[in-house]
Structure 1
């Protein structure tokens, strides 16, 4: 009995456990532990205004992400995978640049944990991709993945998932093609389509049914803009896409892509 009590006391005396970030890039994988990143010579205190996850100014210990991306070239494609299955697809170019927008990896110190994202929810740690001056390069909210566990170099989405592609006969300037690009930026991090994609977070958007098949058009637009205004669910995780993030012309293009893909169902 005394031994059990002693072990319990030791357990509760331990600090919150540190985390590990896996980078799978050119030449293999490397693991970075929290303590290594916090002590990195290029780590610094960073103020982030209009933080996407916390909706306010936040302060972090962070390191320029480019410092960790050894061997990555601007034309490469990267994917950040979160603990909950969110999989953000990101071209490497913006992540490597020193400005005007610059990507930073924020590192949660176990002795000073970040606040929860909402009541009853975890924080953005252990690792969070944040940006300085994001508006200067048109950085979208889905390019701020949090709770990151892995960053890996992969072929581009078009090569990995041909089931996502619109019909090849479409003109280069067809709105459906723009919608496909917007789908990759805004939807693919959480959703699959035709079973294609790496996300484990949200439902497939074409199988068994595409949302354009069961939503009235006005309600679908409302749902994308403000999900809770249409279907209130306290545990819902889908964010709304305000006009500042997805303007009306872009929303039209995204919906055009979904309508188009409803006629291109491919069983995985």
Structure 2
């Protein structure tokens, strides 16, 4: 019995580093354990003035993402996949910044766990992509993925998912194509469209119906601004996109893309 008590005390006093982050950056794959990242030579405490997930100032031990993205170039494309199926599509260039808006991988220390994200919810750990000075880079809330399990280098969204593409005869600077770029940045982390995308989180935005087909007037824009203001339920997870994050001009372009895609539906595979 005494041996069991001593063993139990050891378990309680020894931090457990069970979490791991997988980086698939092309030719190489690297798995980082929590303990390794907490002791990384570039790890430091960072202060986040307006944390997207916690809605308050937060402090984290974090590693600059540039220290982990070995071999990644600014024109590469990355995807951060969370434990819940959230899949943030991100161009590499902003993640490699060393000034202005800067990306950090925050690491949750099991000995000092982060607070819950809400009643009945877990924390943002074990790994959370956060930004210092995000306003300098026009960073979207979707570029703050939490509970990150892996970061992968992939080909661009348009190459992987042609079903998302607008009509090919449109000019590159057409409002629809500008809206497509905004859709990738703000929506594709949670939603698919025409069944295309890697997200396992929210509903498809074109089949069976596109939201522009059932939201009348300005209700779709109001919903994007404040989802819980139109449909309130405890399990609602969609964040609101403020004008500071998604200006009215960009919101208009996003809706233009969705309206366009309502006429380009593709049947889902059975």
Question: Deviation of residue 10 (structure 1)?
Answer: 8.2
User: 1:71 matched to which residue of 2?
Assistant: 71
User: 2:176 matched to which residue of 1?
Assistant: 176
Q: How much is the aligned-residue C-alpha RMSD, in angstroms?
A: 2.1
SS of the aligned residue for 2:259 comes to helix
Question: Deviation of residue 6 (structure 1)?
Answer: 10
Q: Give the Cα separation in 2 of the matches to 1:265 and 1:159.
A: 18
- Give the 4+ runs in structure 1 shifted more than 4 A: 3-17
SS of the aligned residue for 1:267 comes to coil
Question: Deviation of residue 97 (structure 1)?
Answer: 1.6
Q: Give the Cα separation in 2 of the matches to 1:86 and 1:198.
A: 8
User: 1:32 matched to which residue of 2?
Assistant: 32
Question: Deviation of residue 13 (structure 1)?
Answer: 7.2
Q: Give the Cα separation in 2 of the matches to 1:66 and 1:179.
A: 29
* TM-score after normalising by structure 1: 0.94
Q: Give the Cα separation in 2 of the matches to 1:190 and 1:243.
A: 20
Question: Deviation of residue 173 (structure 1)?
Answer: 2.4
Question: Deviation of residue 84 (structure 1)?
Answer: 0.4
**Residues 26-35 or 12-21, more deviating:** 12-21
SS of the aligned residue for 2:24 comes to strand
What whole-Å deviation, never above 9, does each CA across 1:77-114 have from its counterpart, x for those lacking one? Answer: 00000000000001111111201121111000001000
Unaligned runs of 5+ in 1: none
In the alignment of these two chains, the number of paired residues is 268
Q: Give the Cα separation in 1 of the matches to 2:267 and 2:5.
A: 56
Do the aligned partners of residues 211 and 4 (structure 1) sit closer, same or farther apart at CA in structure 2, a change above 3 Å counting?
Answer: farther
User: 1:225 matched to which residue of 2?
Assistant: 225
SS of the aligned residue for 1:194 comes to coil
User: 2:141 matched to which residue of 1?
Assistant: 141
User: 1:111 matched to which residue of 2?
Assistant: 111
SS of the aligned residue for 2:218 comes to helix
User: 2:190 matched to which residue of 1?
Assistant: 190
Q: Give the Cα separation in 2 of the matches to 1:27 and 1:213.
A: 44
